[in-house]
Each structure stands twice: as C-alpha cells, then as structure tokens.
Structure 1
Amino acid sequence: MQSAVAATTTATQLARSAAKPATPLKPILKTASSTLGKRRALEDDDLPSDGSSTDHLQSPRKRQRVEFDMNLEIHEVGARTVEEIKKEICKALDGHAHGDDEDYDILKEAVAGRQRIYDADDDDDDDELDKILPERRRQELKGYMVALTGFVPRLGRSASGLVKSVLRCQWLGRDDQFATVYTQFLGALVSAQGSYLNLVLEMLVDKFGNSRPADWAVPDFPTVTRERMQDRLHQAVRYLLRVFPAANVVLGQVIVSKFPYHDESSRVHLAYVDNLLRLRKYASQLQTDITDLITNRLVHIDVKMQMDMDDLDDRLTAMVLMALRSAQANGELPADDDDDESDAESVDSDDEEDEFNQIKSVKESIEKLDVTLDKLFKLYTPYFDDPDSPEALSTFETLLNEFSHIILPAYKSRHTQFLVFHFAQQSETLLDLFCGTLINTAFESNRPLVLRQAASAYLASFVARGAMVPGKHVRLVFEVLGHHLDKMRATYEVNCRGPDVRRYASFYSLTQALMYIFCFRWKDLIQEVPGDVDEDELSSYLDQDITWIPEVKEVLRRNIYSKLNPLKVCSPAIVEQFAPLAHRLRFMYVYPLIETNKRLRLSQFVSTSYANGGALRESGLDLNDESWQQLDSYFPFDPYQLPTSKHWVEGDYLPWRNIPGLNPDDEEDSDEEEIVEEEIDEDTATDDEDGRDD
C-alpha cells in the first residue's frame, strides 16, 4: 500500500503496523515568494498537547520544528486495527479513482462521524451492543483520523469531498487524544496539499463564534468546558501557524471575512472577539490587523447604535434602559443570554413584535460595544504602567494610527474614541502627540474638509473635556486655533456677503470649537482675578473685572463680529450657553447681535441656486427651517455612559458645572444638564435615571 509523504512521519509513528512506505511524494506547495510560502515538513514531536503559547515565530527561511510532549501509539481501535482501516481507505480511494463511489461515500460518512460503527460481533445481544457501541464509536473515528493521515498525498482535488467531510467532523467536543490526532491530520493535510489551507482555516475560524456547549457537544462524550474547547481550537491554529508560517497571510483574510455580521447576537459577536484576542497573543504577525479589525467593527456598531437610538421614541428608549439594568442586576453576561425566543413567543401583534425587535437590536448593540471596549481597555492598560516608556509610546502610536484611519473619518462615533482619549491623558508626552496629530489634520489643506472639521471638533472636545489636560495645553490650543481662525477670516471676509455655512464651514467649525473650549475651561484662560474671588467658588467670578490672557478676548471678538457672523451659523445650543457665561464673566456681550440675527435669513446669503430657494423647493426642505444651514453640535468626548466599561474613564473627563446665579431669571434648581447634550447626545439607553449624563 502506498503511504504518506515524509512530511507526515507522525502518522507512521501512530500506526506502526503500516506497510513500508513508498517513495515520498512532494507536497503541493510553492516557494517562499508565493502565497503559501515554502514547504514545511511535519516532524516527529511536532504537536503541542498542553495548549501552551509559543514565545515567537521562527524565521520562515528555516525548517520548522515544533516541540510537544506526546507519544501516541494507536494500533487497534474498536473491533479493528489501524491496518484494517487503512485497507478500507485505500480500497475506497482506489474505487473512487475508477468511478466506483460506493465505498468512497461510506468513507465520507464515517470520517464525518455519522456512520453506524462497524460491528464484528453480530451475535452480541442488543443490551451488550448498546454498552460497547459508544466506546467503539469513539475509537473507530479516531482510527480513521490516524489512518487517513497516511493518505494525505492522495487527497488532492479529486478527493475534496472526502476532505470536506473530515472538516465537518465535530472534533472539539471529543477527548483530548482525538483533538490531538485531528489537529495532526490538519497539519499533515495543509503541508502536503496546500490548496486546502483556506478551507482548513475557515473551518477553525468558523468556530470562533461558538459560545454554548451545544455548539461543540458530541453525544456519548462528557461535556467539554468552553475554556477547554478554546484551548483545543487555538492549539490547532497555533500548530498550523508554526509548521506553516505563510498561513498568517491567509488567516488574516479569513478572520475578516468571518467576522460576525452586525445583526448577529451579542453572544456570537463577543465570543468571536474573545477568540481574536486569544489569537493575537501568539500570532505576532497579525496583532495590529486584529486590533484594527475589532476597532473598525466597533465604530460601525457605535454609529449604527446612535442611528437606531435616534429612531426610538422616549418610551422605547426607557425600555432599552430597563432591559440593560435588568440584565446587570441579574448578573447576566451577553454570552450567557438566551436568544429571547420565549420572549418573542409572547409578542401578540406585529407592532409589538417590531418594538421588541427594535429594543433587542439596540440592547445587543450596546452590549457588544460595551463588553468589547472593556476588553480593549483591559488589553492596553498593562502597556501604560510606565506611560513614558518606549513600550507605552509604541502602543499609543498604534492606537493613534487606528484613531486617524478608522475613528476620525467616521461620523458620530460616540464611544470607541475614548480608548485614545483615556490613554492620551496618561502622560504629557502622549497628550502632546495626540493634540499635535489633531492640529496637523485640522489645518492641512490637502485633507478633505469633513476630516478637518472632525479634527477641530475632536481637538476642542479633548481639551475641554480632558480632566488631565493641564491649563497650559488649554491656552496653547486656544492660541493655535485662534491664529488659524484669524487667517481664515482675513481670507474669507474680502468677498463675504454674509453667513454661509456651505462656503465657510471650516471657519464656523473653528469658532464653535473656541466657544466650546471657553465654556468648559474659561478658568484656564484667566490671567488675573480681583482679590475677593474665591477660586473654589465659581459664582464668585461673576461680574468681576477679570484679566484674560493676551488675545483671548480679542480673537473671539474680531471673529464673532466679522461679516461671517458665526453666531448665526454655529449650533444654537452652544451659542445659548456661551452668551450668558461670556456676559456674566464680563468677557463679551453678544445679546444685541443674537437679537439682530433673529431677523436675519440665512437663505439670502447662500450661494448658487439655493439663494433664490429653487434648489430648496426641489429638495423638499422647509424654507422657514434654517437648521440645515447651521452647524451640527457634535463634540465627540461628551460623557461616556456604557455601564460595564464606564469605570475606565470615570476620572478622565470634566463634567459640566453649572454656576449658581449665572441665569438669575431661571429657577435655582433648573436644568443642570451637560452643555448642548440635548442636541449632542440626546437621551440614550445608558443615561442616568433622571435623564442626565452627569
């Protein structure tokens, strides 16, 4: 009988009763410059049996040898020897090659674990047979795997049906010895038949989403814990990467294609992410790709969640909140949740079913986002034990790269950016790096306008909200933004007829950013105060002759009262907060301008066909509604309220502090909400019970 290639010497060790091997066949692998890389032979002692991680990957130019402690010798399985099973396989393959598929089809069922076990004791009574069949079934399938390993040179394209049957075998829920034999077969297969590498990796990655015992359980076998299942799964992946390093490239593509869709349950999503993070520990070539992938999908979930929340009315939003709190109170983890089938059965009408699905979808999005961010905070934190170390700097540069290429271009991401927000505040060096990146992005003329506006919003929000951002950085950023604002005004004002958000969007974004910073960090912009001011009592600053640092007041005054008239275009929520604060601090009095702007119509200054209302009528927009001509009030570092991961950033951001007596006409106990949150955040499922973020 013809047997295995030299690359599968473990197969001959496991079945010493095999016939003398013929001349080895060359594996179907290409050179190192190809997609699959150089040929990697499987050596004796190649398979790790304890699930331990590897320290590093050897150079792909060297012959691989993987150490493990295992010496399996399997000669007899069930009622037959390995040699007998080999003869059966050989007969089936020979028949298949000549067009006779009867034995071949039976073999496919057997290796998939579905065939009734061969019984040599036909005279046994049924009771006795019932006792011996389960054990015989265990051993018989193991024997097929041992024997089939010796035939991998013959499992080319013509035998793809047989290989696919093997890959459908439920192997993770069996015993450790079977898992080891099965993993060994996979290594032999991809070494001898490189064309199957993608199929093998897809089979393994498909199981990354498994989280319930039913997903991997096998009848007649003891229950395998999730942790043990994952150990076996990653032992197989790690083994393939070590004996075949070129598999890293293919695996990187597979984990992207197999990432759960957004409508998958939080249980599947979180199990997949958990396995990706385990993969990251030993697949050093894929570490950056894995975190990029997770971050990218997080942003998609984050943005979609905000859109879904916008579609919910207050009643449904409250129901989402109650569902989340109920899960937390009961100590439920998303991975433990049922599919809510019982709840779905109780829905009586189509409208109720729609509401149920909406609530469930938003709740699961919040869970996915929350738990995954918690895992990422936990992953990165050890690297910042010494925030000024080279390790911390390197890790932060990775985070900053993900932020620049994945998070910043996304519109209305609400939580994912808090990773860089948190770690940027760990040291002044990291803080400088983050602010410098945002400044460069905001003022590089070759950048898309939307990206420059987003960078301005991020910079202003970071400086305003960052609890660890020192006053000197607040003043520096204010000075830099003011300088660029003056340059824009000088350029635009020459031909300006009046406020026009379409033509001067970058100018208005910067003005709004400066007003936002002022509202939160006005104390850091003060140079000197009268002696009777109590620094710990905010109300003592009101109506005092305060000396501001040079150019702060002048910059805002020049630009606010310019032809571009930013108070007419900037978010009304921010203007309404800025006006009383600036007035009572004797910084600037803008109420007359606000009153004048109420009588001003933006449409008369809008360029092109919008000026006469033609395009507006065609688009169906209300001519009396000017909100579409005003800036959005999106500031991305407003309070973080995801319940599980919130603790990571609780000390990172400054809450809005209402100044007693600022608005004497208002009731003393009136609205203490965050600035502009009624527009920026709107009510979310993660708000506090009273609807406030702080």
Structure 2
Amino acid sequence: MVSLASMERATGVIAPAVGGSLKRKQIDSADVDSPLPSSQYKRRRVTFDPSVDVHILPDANEKSLELVVEEVRRALEKHADKLHPDNGPYDEIRSLLLAKPTSAGAPLTSLLYKYIVALSNHVPLLNHECSGMVHAIVDSYWVARNEQYVRSYRHLLSSLLSVHPGYTSSVLTMLVSMLATSPSPAIRQQDDPAVPRPWLESRIHDCLRYLLRQNPMMSTMLGPILTSVFPSSSDTTKAHTQYIGNILKVAGYCPELKGSITSLIMDKLVKIDAQIQVDLEEFEDDIEDLLEDDAADDDDEDSDEDSDSSTETLDPEERRAKEVKESILKLDAVMDLLFSHYDSVFAKGDLFDMDETFESLLSQFASIILPTHRSRHAQFLLFHFSQLSNDFMERYAGCCSHLAFEKGQPRIFQVASSAYLASYIARGAHVSGAVVRDVFDLLCHRLESLRAEQESLCKIPDLSRFGTYYAIAQALIYTFCFRWRDLIVTKDGNPPTDEEVMYHEGDFRWHNDIQDILRRNIFSKLNPLKICAPDIVSQFARMAHHLRFLYVFPLLETNKRIRLARNMGGSYMEGVAARETALSMKMGEQSFLLDAYFPFDPYLLPRSRRWIEQDYVEWKPVPGMEPVQELDDEEDNEDDEDDDNASDSESSSDDTADDDEEEQEEQPEVAESTASDPSI
C-alpha cells in the first residue's frame, strides 16, 4: 500500500489536524482561481484496498472465539493498568455474565460459552484486582444451560481455584447455597434445552464432586459452609428435607465429611424435637388431635407457601398452635427421610458400611441425643436399626450400660442412660429374652451395690443425693411391667402363655435372685418406691401382687405420710432448713420425685411411624388382672363401707389410740387388694 507520508499533497489544500474532522477543509482565498481537477479530488476523498476482506457483523452473538479471547485479554489488562485504567470493556463482560437468561437483551448461551472459554485461557489474570469478574463468574446463571456450557464452566472453576485458591470459599458457598435452594429450570436461554429439576441438582453435585477430586483438601473448608447454610428451625419443611437430602448425597462422595454431616443433621433434628416437647406442654391433646385430622396434608408441597397467608388471619393462640403443628410435621418429614437414608445403607448388606453407620449412630446418641433433655423421637433411629441384629442390640445396650454405670459420668447422664436402657429392653420387640435377663441382672446387681454403699447414709429418701440409685430402681420396675414373662423360669425355657399364667398354682420361679434383690431394696431405708414416678409405682404394685412377686401396698400407704419437702432439711443437713424455690413450692412434692420419662414411649409422628411399628412392644395387661378403673371403683366402694363402719365405733383421743387407728386403716387396704385378685 502507498504510505500517507509519501502521498503527494495537492497545492493549496490544508492538511487536517490531528483529531480534527475528516471533512474537506476550505481552500485558501488566494488560491480560489486555481481549482483542482474534480476527478483527482474525488479519488482522494474515499479509497478502499481491494485486497482487504471486509465483513460487517449483523449480530454480536456471531463473534468468533478468537475475537472474544482477544477482547477478554484486553479488557482484563486495561482494567489492571494502574496508569491508564479503562473499565468499560471489563464492565461490559461482567454485565454479560450476570445477565438473567430470561431478561431482554441477554446474550445467547452460544456467545457466553465463548467468554467462559476465553476466561479459562486467561485465568492467571483473574487475581485480586479482577475479583469483580470472578464474583460475576460465580454468581452467573450456569446450571440450566446446555451440557457443553456446564462442562466448560466447571473446568473454569477448577482452573480458577487451582491458580487462585483464595476464591475457594466463594465458589463452595455458591454451590452449597444451590443445594439449599435449587434454581428454577425455567430460568434458561432460548437456545438451551429444557432441563428437569433433578438434573439441575445432579449438575450441582457433579460440579462439587469434580472440584473435591481436584483438591481433596477443599473438604476442610466445605464442612463449616455446610453448617452455616443449614436452614433455620423456622424455615419450611421443604427447605429442610431438600437440604438434608442433598448434604447426605455429599456425604456419599466426600467420606471425610460423612461423620460431621450426619452429626450436623442429628443436632438440628434434636433441637427441633426438644423445642416441640416444650411447646406441647402448652397445648397437650389439642395438637395431637390436630395431627390426626391433618396427617394427610403433610404431603402437599404447596402448604409451605400457603402457611404465611393463612397465619395472618388467626388469633395469637391459633397462630401458635399452627406453628407447633408445622414443626411437628417438619420433624416427621425429616425423620422419615433419615429412616429411608439409613435403611438404604443397611439393606445393601455391606458389613463394613453397616458397622460404620451403626457406630456413627451410637456416637450421635452419646454426644447429641443423650445430653438433650426430653428428646422424644430422634432416638428411634437407634431403636429401629439396633434391632436388625443381636450384635447391634448388645452393642446399644452395652453403650447405655457403660454411660449409666461408669464412674465420673455426670449424674444426669447416668439417670438418662438408665432410662434409655430400661425403655429399650422393655419396648424392643426384637430384643430377645436372654438380653432382657442379662440387662435385668446387670441392673439388679448395680442397684444392690449402690444400696450397700448408700443405705447407711440415708435417713430419708432423697433424690438429690441418691439420684443414680433411684433411676436404676425405676428402670427395673418399669422393665418388669413390660417384660415380666421373660423373667419367669419355665421347664421348657419359653415364656409362659396366658393360660399358664392364669391357672398357675403357687408362686412362679423367677430368674436368678432378682426377687430377693428387689425386696431388699424396696424395703430398705432408701425406699425407692417413694421417689419413683407414682404412676409406674402404682402399676408395678398391682402387677407384682397379681403375679405373687412382691406385696408392697402397705409400704405405699406408709409412704403417703412421708413429706419429702418438709423433711429435706432436717434429715441429713443437721437442722439447716432446705430452701424451696418458687417452682418447687408450686409443684409440691412432684419436684422431689423422678420424672416418668422413658425415651421409647409411644411414637406419635404419623408419616414416619411406619418404620417402627413392627419393632415396638405395646402395653398389654397381665392375664386375669382386673383393669385399673374397675379396681379403683371397688376400692372406693370399700372405702365408703369402711368409713360407715368407722363412724359407728368409738375412737380414743390419746396418741396410742391414733396409732391403732392407722394400723386399722392399713388392714382394709390389704383385704381389698386380696379380694380384688381372682387368683388368690
């Protein structure tokens, strides 16, 4: 080509200044009379080189990959230039990445793919000075695009974290947040195929799995992020089940996080469970009735969206009741999800996986469930899966025994462990008679050992001083009420039938020396029947009498005259009065008794109940023993007759006569209890 510098200038024509207009300048007035030939002037005004191929782009989406690569390189370099920065092209690329696919003017995926490839080629330039571009990449809409784009995006993230690991937290937070709230399949560009929602979640997991394989140390940062993104207790049922289901999948391909993920889920579950028990104390049967009426509604996915609008029209009490019901259904859905997840592990039959999973459940029980006061449903995961084999049953019973009897354990742990152990062997349908007898023996000998140590120190029953002793005693009488058949020794070694119980002559033969041990302890100074829960004591007294095991009704009458609250101070504190709190004064003697808390009492969640129906021992009365209500009616009638007879007799006013009166009052109790038992 001809250089402009060598081009001959026309006489009388002023050369344009730099930055000036390309229009023809005016000719000097002195040279007006000597104009240039018109043909020569026109040729110099517009000239084209025929060897250059000029192509006008009708659409920006048709940019070539080479052009986009060069555009990205220049934009990043100009943005990083501290002397002459130019952010225009840089911001344009950022806006392309952040554009919502359904918005007007959004770039097609085919063009955006070229920018992703170009950015992958210039990853070293994406340092902290270009963090805005990195955040645009992370926040872009990528998961619902075509498969080619998703693979390139995944490769870009991997390259980015390899060169600049400081962005790891941002990338992981983006992926985990999408596990909590998956994007809509409708947010896609017109040149992208429709992608079902399950495929979107699969793409997120594929991306996270790919990054973890490239850098296994990334899991150390992933754990805290999984915890921070976990839905709050006030979030919807759908939010909880979706996130829990997704992070359980993460545990499948990130084994180093499996323990922390399952513990995280259990911790959140137990907190919801415990809060529900606190809330239920305000509503009691009303909430249970509501659950029975609306049990089928918990499968409706739209119920979460409708709950906010419907709650606004309720009064405060109704709103509170609705919130508690939603929490119960949320707990039910999560429990059902966990039952299904663990069942898939045990169903495979892989001994290593089964053993590892059960050990994880035992660890969660000891560290999360047991220390939580009044956990009501979470422990049924162990209740169900421990009954899959004798080995699991023995390991769970051994875990509870170790926590209940080990010295140095907090007393509250020992009391709770005793309750778990007794409730488990009492309610577990697959717990064999041999295991029941072994555990009962263990509890009896531990009770006898504590009695030998503490009876000499006891002047009056005292839960605060001898709490572990009373917890074991209550565990024994509770277990007796459910598994008394397994404690009777028969010739063939099988539990006695109903007919054998009803028509048996004489006393039963009981396993080992459990009868003597319980008798010594029940009638000792420690007097456990005064401290144990009254309902359990009453049921034990009726059953023990009917089965000719023990007769404790006179002791129960004597215990009615013992005032624990009044005598707490004067017994072992040598005259120093015990201070009663406002709560203990309001509750009266109940504050000095054991709670009737047994962790495996009936399971009430409607959906997940199906998992434990075949594992659970329901209460059955002793054959031949009259129902409690009829027995109480007879006692009331006999009490009325005794009162009429007593009114006709003369009474003495001195102390000796009063003592005789008390002895006479005890005799009708013995007579009426004997008369009400058809087997005597």
TM-score normalised to the size of structure 1?
A: 0.76
C-alpha spacing 1:235/1:528, structure 2 compared with 1 (3 Å): closer
Unpaired runs of 5+ residues, structure 1, are 1-75, 118-129, 671-694
Query: Which residue identity lines up with residue 616 of structure 1 in the other structure?
Result: E
**What is the alpha-carbon distance in structure 2 between the residues aligned to residue 244 and residue 453 of structure 1?**
46
- Tell me how far apart the structure 1 counterparts of residues 496 and 212 of structure 2 sit (CA, whole Å): 65
Aligned counterpart, 2:218: 247
Q: Contact 1:152 / 1:192 at 8 angstroms: preserved in 2? A: yes
SS in 1 for 2:305: coil
Structure 1 residues 160 and 590: CA distance shift in structure 2, 3 A: same
Task: Report how far residue 280 of structure 1 moved.
Answer: 2.1
CA contact (8 A) 1:579 1:589 kept: yes
Other-structure match for 1:522: 484
In 2, Cα distance between the equivalents of 1:430 and 1:294?
22
2: distance between equivalents of 1:454 and 1:669? 32
Whether the aligned pair in 1 keeps the contact of 2:237 and 2:304 (CA below 8 Å) is no
Deviations 1:552-591 (A, max 9, x none): 1111111111111111111111111111000111111111
* 3-state SS in 1 of match to 2:489: strand
Q: Are 1:218 and 2:191 an aligned pair?
A: no
- State which of 58, 69, 87 in structure 2 corresponds to 1:86: 69
Bigger CA drift: 233-242 or 651-660? 651-660
Aligned partners of 2:274 and 2:376 also within 8 Å: yes
The one of 395, 402, 406 equivalent to 1:444 is 406
The answer to whether the aligner puts 1:414 opposite 2:414 as a matched pair is no
The answer to whether the 8 A contact 1:407-1:417 is kept is yes
Q: Distance in 2 between matches of 1:658 and 1:648?
A: 25
2:275 and 2:96 map into 1 onto residues whose CA distance is 46
* 1:324-346 CA-partner distances (Å, limit 9, x unpaired): 2334xxxx255x64412575277
Distance 1:605 1:577 in 2: 27
Q: Is the contact made by 2:101 and 2:189 (CA closer than 8 Å) also made in structure 1?
A: no
Deviation at 1:187, TM superposition (A): 0.6
**Which string of whole-angstrom CA distances, capped at 9 and with x for unpartnered residues, describes residues 666-694 of structure 1?**
34999xxxxxxxxxxxxxxxxxxxxxxxx
Taking only the aligned residue pairs, the percentage that are identical comes to 36
The 3 A distance-change label for structure 1 pair 665 and 300 is: closer
Task: Quickly say closer, same or farther: Cα 1:443–1:185, change in 2 above 3 A.
Answer: same
Report the counterpart of residue 323 of structure 2 in structure 1. 357
The change in CA–CA distance for 1:381 and 1:192 in structure 2 (over 3 A counts) is same
The Cα shift of 1:350 comes to 4.8
For residues 574 and 231 of structure 2, the distance between their equivalents in structure 1, rounded to whole angstroms, comes to 44
Aligned to 2:529: 567
State how far apart, in whole Å, the 1-side matches of 2:573 and 2:189 are.
Answer: 72
Letter in 2 for 1:577: Q
**CA shift digits 1:267-322 (9 cap, x unpaired):** 11111111112222222222222222222222222222222222324334422432
CA distance in 2, matches of 1:182, 1:624: 65
Which protein has greater RCO, CA pairs closer than 8 Å, 6+ apart?
Answer: 1
Contact 2:529 2:556 in 1 (8 A): yes
Q: CA deviation at 1:489?
A: 1.0
Q: Does 1:198 align with 2:169?
A: yes
Q: Of the candidates 445, 450, 460, which is equivalent to residue 498 of structure 1?
A: 460
3-state SS of 1:626 partner: helix
- 2:285 corresponds in structure 1 to 314
Q: Which amino acid aligns with 1:243?
A: Q
Which residue is 1:230 aligned to? Answer: 201
Aligned-partner Cα distance in 2 for 1:632–1:116: 60
Residue deviations 1:524-576 (CA, integer Å, cap 9, x gap):
1112489xx96144861688521212311111111111111111111111111
Structure showing the higher helix proportion among its residues: 2
Distance apart, 1:354 and its partner CA: 4.0
2:654 aligns with none
Query: For 1:354 and 1:665, how far apart are their aligned partners in 2?
Result: 36
**How far apart, in 1, do the equivalents of 2:425 and 2:528 lie?**
21
Find 1:378's aligned residue among 343, 347, 364.
Answer: 343
Change (3 A) 1:491 1:541: farther
Equivalent positions of 1:39-50 (< 5 A) are none
- The answer as to whether partners of 2:401 and 2:418 remain within 8 angstroms in 1 is yes
Check whether the contact 2:276–2:324 (CA below 8 A) recurs between aligned residues: no
> CA 1:284 to 1:316, structure 2 compared with 1: closer, same or farther past 3 Å?
closer
Q: In 2 relative to 1, CA 224–669 (structure 1 residues): closer, same or farther, beyond 3 Å?
A: farther
Note if contact 1:499-1:605 (Cα within 8 Å) is conserved in structure 2.
Answer: no
How far is the alpha carbon of 1:165 from its aligned partner?
Answer: 1.7
Against the structure 1 CA distance between its residues 354 and 419, is the aligned structure 2 distance closer, same or farther, given a 3 Å change threshold?
closer
Which position in structure 2 is the counterpart of 1:603?
565
Aligned partners of 1:543 and 1:584 also within 8 Å:
no
CA RMSD of aligned residues (A): 3.1
Tell me the SS of whatever aligns to 1:606.
helix
One-letter amino acid of the counterpart of residue 75, structure 2: A
- What's the CA shift string for 1:511-534, capped at 9, x where partnerless? 00000110011111112489xx96
CA contact (8 A) 2:117 2:152 kept: yes
Q: Distance in 1 between matches of 2:242 and 2:436?
A: 42
Q: Structure 1's 303 and 537: CA in aligned 2 closer, same or farther, altered over 3 A?
A: farther
**Given the two structures, how large is their TM-score scaled by the length of structure 2?**
0.77
C-alpha distance in structure 2 between counterparts of 1:623 and 1:319, whole Å: 30
* Map of 1:512 onto structure 2: 474
Q: Pick from 610, 630, 645: which aligns with 2:608?
A: 645
Compute the displacement of 1:201 (Å).
0.7
Question: How many pairs were matched up?
Answer: 568
- Residue 534 to residue 96, structure 1, CA distance change in 2 (3 Å): closer
Q: Give the corresponding residue for 2:40.
A: none
Q: Gapped runs of 5+ residues in structure 2?
A: 1-58, 634-680
* Residue pair 2:400, 2:418 contacting (<8 A) in 1 also: yes
Query: What is the CA deviation profile of residues 94-153 of structure 1, one whole-angstrom value per residue up to 9, with x for unaligned ones?
Result: 333235433333332222125999xxxxxxxxxxxx9xx67x522222222111112221
CA contact (8 A) 2:269 2:378 kept: yes
Counterpart of 1:366 in structure 2 is: 332
Pair 1:105–1:114, CA change in 2 (3 A) = farther
Distance change in 2, residues 1:264/1:609 (3 Å): farther
Q: Return closer, same or farther for 1:538/1:494 CA change in 2, 3 Å cut-off.
A: same
1:147-166: per-residue Cα shift (whole Å, max 9, x none)? 11122212122222221121
1:277 aligns with 2:243: no
